Structure 1
Amino acid sequence: MSRVLLRGARVVTMAPGRPDAEHVDVLVDADRISAVGADIEAPDAEVVDLCGRIVIPGLVNAHLHTWQTALRSVGADWTLMEYLTRLHGECAGRYTPADMHISNLAGALSQINCGTTTVGDWCHNVLSPEHADAAVEGLARSGVRAVFLHGTPYRAPEIPHPLAEIDRLLDGPVRDHALITLGMALQGPQYSSVETASADFHAGAQRGLVVSMHQSGGDPSPGWEAVRAAGLFSPLTNIVHGSGLSEDWIKRLVEAGVTFTSTPENELGQGHGTPVTGSLLRLGSAPSLGTDIDTAVPGKLLTAARFALAHQRSLDHAHHRQTTGTHLDTPSVTAKQALAWATVEGARALGLADQVGRIEVGMQADLVAVDARALNLWPAHDPVATVLHADIANIEAVMIAGRWRKRDHGLLASGLDEVKDRLRESGERLLRGTGPEGPRV
């Protein structure tokens, strides 16, 4: 049946002008939302009773190196420099296309299980066209919606992004999958020559692609000014982390429409620097969120949202006490803002704001049902806060493009035991001989 009527839930639409949560029905027609309102009549639709649940837009993990899934937890105690040395210096070059495929498949399925319906897959270990194709196929098989941000291992600053590969992917592997779009994971102006940075930005603009880049500590290199002077910063530009950028630089970038993605748990733990959340909020902007690397932190976006919220509140509380000698009377950041970072802002960062991130007529039917009847959430007095407090066990159902990918608390994916076996075998082989004492497994 192509029509599904979700009835009985409290719905957090994240749409402007609507209440934070409301008792409304949601009608899904094929892959889109066709109606949102009270007591919708749809005699030909399958009716799903979601009484006691909270329905939200699918979460958007705007920055994830999904290819690292097979190496989960090995870097939990690594600093940023250890991560770069041991993961990129020792393990990354051992990846085969099969390793890319199984990590992307398992990582995307895990994201769906956590309530994420869209992933910004920052794939900077594409060693060959076969590696790229295998990564894309892994995403496609999972059923997740994804922006495949094509990247390469770290290279000399003068070497431009391989545009022949971008065009090949646009003409074939990515075009063949309706839920996958292409972007460019650039080295960016911080790690490229002035000429290369400008050329890469031009190439992305010509193709209408999101271009995303890391900026983590250190003053901006000359390439930043060159890109700015050429007018190449735009809403299709995404900066991950952003630590090290001055308030003036962040202001210029926000004015150009640039989006920022913070990965708060990893940024705080590995030493990237202080998340840019506060700088953005002071400018009337906001971050999107990612979980970054499963090698160091769990890939749960709701956890990232709570980290971002608590960290910014902590900074604001401390600043207020230092400047006034008193405590804040009201919270500086709200739970709904944090949920927006994980939905609306994520969609904007990935160039998908007209498709996902809100529950509105005409939007893609990417929806999540949170079971608020569970003991850890009940009674759910504040639906938005309840969602932020949810864990994997509370994610009852996930729909992507009108198709159920999780129901009754279980993934609707076949062969999960085989996927887990392949993932373990991949990780053990990739780690063999890593570090002075061998693999940490």
Structure 2
Amino acid sequence: MRRKLIKGAAIVSMDAAIGDLPKGDVLIEQDRIVAVAPSIAADDAEVIDASRMLLLPGLINGHLHTWQTGLRGLAADWTVAGYMQAMHRGLATLFRPEDIHIANLVGALNQINNGATTLVDWCHNNPTPAHSDAAVQGLADAGIRALFLHGSPKPDPKPGQKHFSEVPMPRGEVERFCKGRFASRDGLLTFGLAVLGPYYSTYDVTKQDLALAREFDVFASMHVGGGKGMVPDGFERLLDDGLVDRHLTIVHGNDIAPDTVRRIADRGGTFTVTAEIELQMGYGDPLTGILHEHKAPISIGSDVEPAVGSDLFTCMRLTLQHERNRGIIETLEKTGSRPQRAAVTCRDALAWVTIDAAKIAGLDDRVGSVTPGKQADLVLLRTDALNMTPMRDLVGCAVMQAATANVDTVLIAGRTVKQAGRLLADDVAGKLAKLQSSGDRILADFEALPTRAA
């Protein structure tokens, strides 16, 4: 691969040692960043003119059910009860492996188009190994960097079957992936578990699943929200039993007691916030404020694509502004006056989709900042557009002004995957047609179910 020189960009590195550069260059060799400086000479390199662009680390979507991509808009007015019933006990049961593949492929391409170079894919519709393999292949075919989280489907049990809450993660499948496709951890795709946790499973199942994650030294993520948990004191018990550590990430967790949230963070556990979905489903205030005050890393994600769009610029703004409003109201009630300064900044919000998200996904040695030695996952935003001119503050404009329309160029591991505003993927129209047909078939089969799931 020829060396690349990104020339003349405004740079927000998210690396404290490098800082922000009003104008600078980035030199890339193979898949790595080798230099970041105000000016770099490299006569043999392919030059990318970024004189009217803002360069950021590639963005990281910390939580997305990519398999649902073909059902966009369907859940826009759903409650959490409607989602659980219609999606998990109805629509999910109708997906074939090929439906999972095209959904993950198009969903991942959409993330790249939006400026995200890494996706944490929370795949909990994999009733067979073929479904799981199709999900992974969809991500691979898109060329995105992804942490694939192997989950558990949640259908109503058939006669003689155990309820899903009593079924631990299938050890054979975990071993198959860890010793097979994910035997090496050096590729674009890495592996983890999307476990049920004490909210959706028995305590014994939770213990087994976390023990499995530790045994294979993989990431374990769990949903917490949407009703009363099966084990009300589950997290306190996990803490007391020494089962919370760096392997564990909790998605949502809005109704976990604040002291327990802090204890989890102190043990190395982390949290992912999906504010837009949490607000739609009535989970309560996102944990953004508690975690920020505790100086704990935060990642954010778009979550349910049938309900909301999945660009991270919107995610950042909504999460940030909700927390600002919540914090201001809290201060006003306590002191009788509003604070003079914003407690949570735009740079904090950008960290949620870059360096902090990389730390939580276990990828901060590779991505998350524009740092020599890391892989070249980068995004260039056009700053000569109507919505970005003039750019008075680099981080402020990146978070509060930018949109997908500004994403000009995207690189993943040094490979250009979007250029001049155009996604460099073959036959996008054909892929979209296949996604449309997949969703049409699933919805038709859903309508034909003997008893409607919603």
TM-score by length of 1: 0.96
Taking only aligned residues, the RMSD between alpha carbons, in angstroms, comes to 1.8
Q: Given residue 369 of structure 2, which amino acid in structure 1 is its aligned partner?
A: R
- Does the 8 Å CA contact 1:372/1:386 hold for their aligned counterparts? no
1:149-160 matches, within 5 Å, as: 149-154=149-154, 155-160=163-168
Residue 146 (structure 2) pairs with residue 138 (structure 1): no
In structure 2, do the counterparts of structure 1 residues 20 and 327 end up closer, same or farther at CA, with 3 Å as the change threshold?
farther
Residue 191 (structure 2) aligns with: 182
Q: Given residue 261 of structure 1, which amino acid in structure 2 is its aligned partner?
A: T
Q: Given residue 173 of structure 1, which amino acid in structure 2 is its aligned partner?
A: R
Measured after TM superposition, the shift of residue 433 of structure 1 is: 5.4
Residue 171 (structure 2) pairs with residue 192 (structure 1): no
Measured after TM superposition, the shift of residue 435 of structure 1 is: 6.4
Supply the distance in 2 between the matched residues of 1:436 and 1:317 (Cα, whole angstroms). 50
Supply the distance in 1 between the matched residues of 2:415 and 2:18 (Cα, whole angstroms). 26
- Does the 8 Å CA contact 1:398/1:405 hold for their aligned counterparts? yes
Residue 409 (structure 1) aligns with: 421
Residue 422 (structure 1) aligns with: 434
1:242-281 matches, within 5 Å, as: 242-281=253-292
Measured after TM superposition, the shift of residue 326 of structure 1 is: 2.2
Residue 363 (structure 1) aligns with: 374
Return the match for 2:360 from 338, 349, 361.
349
Residues 171-219 of structure 1: CA distance to partner in whole angstroms, max 9, x if unpaired? Answer: 2234489210000000012222222111111110111100000011546
Per mean C-alpha deviation after superposition, the further-off stretch among 209-218 and 408-417 is 209-218
- Does the 8 Å CA contact 2:346/2:396 hold for their aligned counterparts? yes
Residue 219 (structure 2) aligns with: 210
Measured after TM superposition, the shift of residue 83 of structure 1 is: 0.7
Residue 241 (structure 2) pairs with residue 230 (structure 1): yes
Residue 302 (structure 2) aligns with: 291
Say which SS state the counterpart of residue 122 (structure 1) adopts.
strand
Residue 393 (structure 1) aligns with: 405
- Does the 8 Å CA contact 1:198/1:226 hold for their aligned counterparts? no
- Identity within the alignment, %: 41
Supply the distance in 2 between the matched residues of 1:369 and 1:48 (Cα, whole angstroms). 10
Residues 243-271 of structure 1: CA distance to partner in whole angstroms, max 9, x if unpaired? Answer: 11001100110101111000011111122
Q: Given residue 256 of structure 2, which amino acid in structure 1 is its aligned partner?
A: L
Q: What are the ranges of 5 or more consecutive residues in structure 2 without an aligned counterpart?
A: 155-162
Q: What are the ranges of 5 or more consecutive residues in structure 1 without an aligned counterpart?
A: none
Measured after TM superposition, the shift of residue 286 of structure 1 is: 3.6
Residue 159 (structure 2) aligns with: none
Q: Given residue 212 of structure 2, which amino acid in structure 1 is its aligned partner?
A: A
Supply the distance in 2 between the matched residues of 1:431 and 1:311 (Cα, whole angstroms). 34
TM-score by length of 2: 0.93
Paired residues, number: 439
Supply the distance in 1 between the matched residues of 2:388 and 2:442 (Cα, whole angstroms). 40
- Does the 8 Å CA contact 2:94/2:446 hold for their aligned counterparts? no
Residue 44 (structure 1) aligns with: 44
Say which SS state the counterpart of residue 433 (structure 2) adopts.
helix
Residues 30-84 of structure 1: CA distance to partner in whole angstroms, max 9, x if unpaired? Answer: 0111111122122221111100100000000010000000001100000111111
Supply the distance in 2 between the matched residues of 1:436 and 1:266 (Cα, whole angstroms). 29
- Does the 8 Å CA contact 2:126/2:153 hold for their aligned counterparts? yes
Per mean C-alpha deviation after superposition, the further-off stretch among 248-257 and 212-221 is 212-221
Per mean C-alpha deviation after superposition, the further-off stretch among 322-331 and 239-248 is 322-331
Residue 109 (structure 1) aligns with: 109
